[in-house]
């Protein structure tokens, strides 16, 4: 069978024709321009999905379903986007609107959850029954796969792993609550931590890497400084890795997945971050008398949204 | 069908004959005396199980299995107790030893997990697909039921909810790690918090309730003082409820169960604790745009271990 997966992002709508193994046969994209309101956005999604479906090669069993991965809080029972800050959508009847354009089954899931499903189907957790995928990007996203299926709770809003509290009464998070993991372990938080360290130590390599312009600090700057032997950069990276590790310790104690997949921009650091994360999280886990989860870097990259959305229909 | 459930505790071995609805037809108990080593303990468990099985009324389909709820880290694949501080057991081949005495299927699970299964089968979460049971006692235990089954991870050691970190670099926990929820939200922690408040405020009702003997403070003392209008007691209770609530906020954001069950000694406070816990945890949850989990007080009491262990075989 084949499946159409739609990755609805803040910038682009990407869609692809995907097979049972999670391989993309064709893909395409158009700008989202969510400020137009949801009706034209959904029409563009439907047009793109139809284009993908039309490319289905004869003899492959046809297209079974259309899956949508969307940012925000999703209600899959009603097929609506309850709230997406990113798209500016509130109670958008996504599946109902899409139904105007197609008779295929339509499924919808949260973007972080479908990314986890993509890693589980064809990526770093392929063939693994229980995996958790954590995305260290602008925010911290999480997706939990149990028995090969996304776990999303009774109301589809589970696995908001970035919003577990790791520091009661701590840093304010963009969600309006204090102490969330995301407020310490996102790329945004790392940039804030890097700028603070640079301001406190004007002689550090962080400052020279950005020619003194702290506005140019990105999520790579502290890693680059640390790798160049800079003490301030090293201290920022060490502290950041501890922040990430404390959430991973919680994921181990709570879920005990067989594999934990690390994705998002920060995961480009590869083993440089994976090795200490695994060491610290294992050492801090409740028990070390049993086999603990393996840590892996995400493999699906930008295709995670398309593949995971498609696999909602599998 | 009928099932034998064995609740292996630090003090007593309790066992019962249980039906499909989780009702106990007969029960009995003998002292554990774990210091004898595991062989005589398992023999006593097997004898008690045989006694229960012999009571199975004709026409009820006979006994299908024997389930064991044990403290500690369990490996259900090998049927062993990997480590139980409480019993002093390390790598005890519980199921293998039990096999010497019976041909019935034998199942084993962690005691907090089987308590959650009991609440899900016949207690506060009866008929609910997704529930989480939290036990506020000497420690903080957790059990997660998904789709009517206990979720225990790939190695049976999941749902150590008491050991999620809510305060990075915070209080030392009995597990040897810092900042665990248990170090703030257990009855043990509440007693410590109550004693500290009493020592800091000699005129408080906490002191008069224990006639100045802080060694007599228990998990009820601060609640009694608060109910009597004492400011120090009120402050202890308010702070304690916030500690419990922060972990419940995490359980909401992570699992989104339909029902969260609160058990253990502290749950005897009933609505006095349930109402503020529910209010604070809901207010602190990531999203309030959707239906959030309901909070309930555990109903199974001392029978939770027997019933939950029995239901492992269902």
Chain B 6-25, CB below 8 Å of chain A: which residues?
none
pLDDT for the residue A307: 98
Flag the least confident range among A1-5, B168-172, B173-177: B173-177
Is A151 at the interface with chain B, CB within 8 A?
yes
Query: Of the candidates A272, A261, A267, which has an alpha carbon nearest to the alpha carbon of residue A233?
Result: A272
Is residue A155 within 8 angstroms of chain B, CB to CB? yes
- Residue pair B33/B19 in contact by the 8 Å Cβ criterion: no
pLDDT tens string A288-309:
788 899 999 999 999 999 999 9
Short-list B294, B283, B292, CA closest to B261: B294
Cα A98 to Cα B123: distance, rounded to the nearest angstrom: 42
pLDDT of residue B284: 95
Name the residue among A32, A282, A23, A309 with its Cα closest to residue A143.
Answer: A309
Neighbours of A25 (CB within 10 A): 14
B109's tokens? 């699970």
Structure tokens at B94: 């519980």
Whether A85 has its CB under 8 Å from any CB of chain B: the answer is no
Express each pLDDT in B20-44 by its tens digit: 999 999 999 999 999 999 999 999 9
Residues of B in contact with A179 (CB under 8 A): 246
* pLDDT surpassing 90 at residue B6: yes
B75, B129, B153: residue with CB nearest A255: B153
Decide if A256 touches B, using CB distance below 8 A.
Answer: yes
Dihedral sign of CA atoms A124, A14, A71, A76 in order? negative
ipTM: 0.93
Q: Is A65 helix (H, G, I), strand (E, B) or coil?
A: strand
DSSP B155: T
Q: Please write the tens of the pLDDT for every residue from B256-305.
A: 999 999 999 999 999 999 999 999 999 999 988 888 999 999 999 999 99
Q: pTM of the predicted model, to two decimals?
A: 0.94
d(CA B21, CA A107): 35
| Residue among B262, B247, B261, B256 nearest B292 (CA) | B256
Which residues of chain A neighbour B82 with C-beta distances below 8 Å?
Answer: 287, 289-290
pLDDT confidence bin for A61, thresholds 50/70/90? confident
Q: State the distance between the two ends of chain B, measured CA to CA, in whole angstroms.
A: 9
Q: Which tens digit of pLDDT belongs to each residue from B129-139?
A: 999 999 999 89
pLDDT in the model for residue A76: 87
Nearest to A160 among B164, B177, B286 (CB): B286
Lowest mean pLDDT among A74-78, B16-20, B62-66, B244-248: A74-78
- Within 8 A of A155 by CB-CB distance, chain B residues are 256, 290-292
């Amino acid at each position: 069978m084949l499946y159409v997966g739609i990755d609805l992002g803040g910038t682009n709508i990407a869609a692809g024709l995907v097979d049972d193994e999670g391989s993309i046969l064709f893909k395409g994209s158009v700008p989202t321009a969510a400020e137009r309101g949801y009706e034209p956005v959904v029409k563009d999604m439907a047009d793109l999905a139809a284009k993908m479906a039309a490319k289905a090669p004869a003899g492959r069993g046809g297209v079974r379903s259309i899956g949508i991965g969307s940012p925000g809080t999703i209600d899959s029972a009603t097929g609506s986007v309850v709230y997406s800050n990113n798209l500016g959508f509130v109670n958008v009847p996504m599946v109902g609107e899409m139904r105007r354009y197609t008779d295929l089954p339509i499924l919808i899931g949260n973007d972080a959850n479908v990314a986890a499903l993509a890693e589980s189907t064809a990526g770093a957790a392929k063939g693994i029954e229980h995996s958790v995928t954590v995305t260290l990007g602008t925010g911290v996203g999480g997706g939990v796969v149990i028995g090969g299926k996304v776990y999303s709770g009774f109301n589809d809003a589970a696995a908001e792993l970035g919003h577990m509290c790791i520091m009661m009464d701590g840093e304010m998070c963009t969600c309006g609550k204090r102490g969330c993991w995301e407020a310490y372990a996102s790329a945004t938080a790392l940039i804030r931590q890097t700028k603070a360290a640079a301001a406190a130590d004007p002689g550090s390599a962080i400052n020279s890497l950005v020619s003194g312009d702290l506005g140019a600090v990105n999520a790579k700057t502290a890693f680059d400084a640390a790798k160049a032997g800079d003490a301030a950069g090293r201290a920022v990276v060490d502290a950041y890795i501890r922040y990430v590790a404390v959430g991973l310790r919680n994921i181990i104690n709570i879920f005990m997945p067989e594999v934990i997949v690390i994705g998002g921009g920060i995961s480009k650091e590869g083993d440089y971050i994976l090795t200490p994360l695994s060491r610290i999280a294992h050492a801090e886990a409740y028990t070390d008398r049993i086999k603990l989860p393996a840590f892996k870097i995400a493999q699906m990259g930008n295709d995670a949204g398309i593949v995971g959305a498609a696999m909602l229909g599998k």
